[in-house]
Amino acid sequence: MAQPTTAPQANEKGTKKAAKPETSPSSASEQKIYKGLYGVVIDYTAISKVNPETNSLTYRGYPVQELAEKCSFEEVAYLLWRGNLPTSAELAEFCRLERDLRHLEPGLVDLIMGLPKDCHPMDTVRTAVSWLGCQDEDPFTRDTPHVRDCARMMWSKLPLVVALDIRRRQGKEFIEPDKNLGMAENFLSMVFGREEGSPALNPDDVRAFDKSLILYAEHSFNASTFTARVITSTMSDTFSAVTGAIGALKGPLHGGANEFVVHTMLEIGDPEKAEEWVHNALDNKKLIMGFGHRVYKDGDSRVPTMEAAFRDLAEKHGAQKWVQMYENMSNTMYERTGIKPNLDFPAGPAYHVLGIPVEFFTPIFVMARITGWTAHIIEQREDNSLIRPLSAYNGPDQRSVPDDRG
Ligand code: COA
């Protein structure tokens, strides 16, 4: 069994750290509570910048909209991990390494095939990552190249895991990956095959899907990335950090929202009923999934790009009904509350139009966000400080256990 071989080293850089407070506030009345860490800045990151004032998001300095227009998901993964866009020679080598890893070990296939067919697909993904972590021969290393290798391995295999899980639930044979295809096209081929009408054969569908992966790839200290950083800060291994992040992403307040968006749209059924449905939900103090954001308060920077891709897809697939539903819901929500859609609102129906089963939308989010999570794991390891906040105690005063509890 792999064990730490050396004592944990002190942080080598340590240059940017805020000074530690000399003492901790002791009584609850002295402590200010930052519920949900609302507005708290806990560290630096050079990976992405979310700017709610300008409604912008950059990855390593590049606006995400430009990346979605001009780059492939593979180039964006390289950018997140390496800090710069690849040259064509670097990209070719990077893709070759990824494609070489496109296979699933028999033990992993058996494990997935043995999982209940009605478990949530996020449980499959979480279990698969745990299994891959059992093969890590050097889990306690602080060596960045090793972490990058683990990241690339998960990045390459997760689309295969998701495709296998989709097809086994449909009672269909697994389709072998094609090492000549880009990641988006290969994934759609493994899910839908390459028969006439398959989105894998339609370059517009492939490009729209690729864009969604780019938009989902990274978003600073969101809940799942923060989870990955907390786990990494204890000097635990990359796979444990990713497993925890998957658990955080599954929740409907975070990544799980993209599924709930389409469940809601299907429940409403008719776009003409959207307005009444939204008012009803708000009258009953219900959260409407796909709206609002902890950081953006005036619209999510990623929405215009994804919305345009969704509108294109809907037009080409004769699915205007969902555009009408999208518009009626978002207009009513905005008029009544001033709250705008987040990325999940256009991404969910875009995946639905492509024919992807709804419960697989969040696992697709994992296929994309694995790049951002692992970039943060590397960053956290390279300038680590254990993440351990304080709490203000508000339970009973100290008391003694009575001798007679009769
Ligand atoms: N539906 C209905 N009301 C919403 C809402 C939504 N989607 N999002 C926010 N609100 C309401 C809140 O209930 C709150 O109302 P109140 O002041 O009467 O209590 C008010 O708007 C302000 O919300 P705020 O506290 O600023 O939001 P937050 O930062 O705590 O939460 C989210 C952000 C993302 C958790 C929240 O918007 C939400 O739950 N959205 C739905 C889930 C979702 O789409 N998640 C994906 C995020 S990318």
Instruction: Identify the band that residue 15 occupies on the pLDDT scale cut at 50, 70 and 90.
Output: very low
The pLDDT tens digits of the residues spanning 254-295 come to 999 999 999 999 999 999 999 999 999 999 999 999 999 999
- Does the 62-382 domain belong in CATH 1.10.580.10? yes
Please give the pLDDT value at position 13: 42
Of all atoms in ligand 1, which is nearest to the CA of residue 342?
48
Please give the pLDDT value at position 79: 98
Nearest to 301 by CA among 128, 87, 120, 63: 63
Instruction: Identify the band that residue 25 occupies on the pLDDT scale cut at 50, 70 and 90.
Output: low
Instruction: Identify the band that residue 200 occupies on the pLDDT scale cut at 50, 70 and 90.
Output: very high
Instruction: Identify the band that residue 343 occupies on the pLDDT scale cut at 50, 70 and 90.
Output: very high
Mean pLDDT of 7-19: 43
List pocket residues of ligand 1, CB cut-off 6 Å: 253-254, 257, 287-294, 339, 342, 344
Q: Whose CA is nearest to atom 4 of ligand 1?
A: 287
Q: How many beta carbons lie within 10 A of that of residue 403, not counting itself?
A: 6
Give the residue ranges of DSSP H helices in 101-140.
106-113, 121-133
Residue 344 bears catalytic tag: yes
Which string of DSSP letters, residue by residue, matches 377-389?
Answer: HHHHHHT------
- Give me the residue label for tokens 């993209």: 258
Of all atoms in ligand 1, which is nearest to the CA of residue 222?
48
The pLDDT tens digits of the residues spanning 100-138 come to 999 999 999 999 999 999 999 999 999 999 999 999 988
The answer to whether the beta carbons of residues 76 and 217 sit under 8 Å apart is yes
The pLDDT tens digits of the residues spanning 164-174 come to 999 999 999 99
Mean predicted lDDT score pLDDT of the chain: 93
Instruction: Identify the band that residue 189 occupies on the pLDDT scale cut at 50, 70 and 90.
Output: very high
Tell me how far the alpha carbon of residue 154 lies from the centroid of ligand 1, in angstroms: 32
User: Does 361 have pLDDT greater than 50?
Assistant: yes
Top mutation candidate among 294, 302, 334, 361 for ligand 1, by most atoms within 8 Å of CB: 294
Catalytic residue among 210, 237, 344, 376: 344
